[in-house]
């Protein structure tokens, strides 16, 4: 009895959900991908520059 009630309540709640359109999903996905690419480039560049700075510092200190 409880399982049937639970499933009916879940179905009723899912009918209330505003599902995004295909265009909204595509737009959001593009925004996420561009953001990930930008942050990846930024972090890679920062890491590279920090490594170069650290190697230079080690060569000066040695």
Name the residue with higher pLDDT: 62 or 36: 36
Residue 1 has pLDDT above 90, yes or no: no
Taking only the tens place, the pLDDT of each residue in 21-45 is 999 999 999 999 999 999 999 999 9
pLDDT score recorded for residue 61: 82
* pLDDT for res 37: 98
Distance CA 8, CA 11 (A): 5
Residues recorded for the chain: 62
As a whole-number percent, the residues of the chain with pLDDT over 90 amount to 90
Nearest CA among 48, 49, 45, 26 for reference residue 37: 45
Q: Which two tokens stand for residue 28?
A: 């959001």
Q: What's the pTM value of the predicted model, to 2 decimals? A: 0.68
């Amino acid at each position: 009895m409880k399982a049937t009630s639970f499933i009916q309540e879940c179905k009723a709640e899912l009918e209330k959900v505003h599902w995004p359109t295909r265009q909204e999903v595509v737009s959001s996905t593009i925004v996420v991908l561009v953001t990930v690419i930008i942050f990846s480039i930024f972090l890679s560049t920062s890491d590279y520059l920090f490594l170069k700075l650290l190697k230079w510092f080690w060569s000066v200190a040695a």
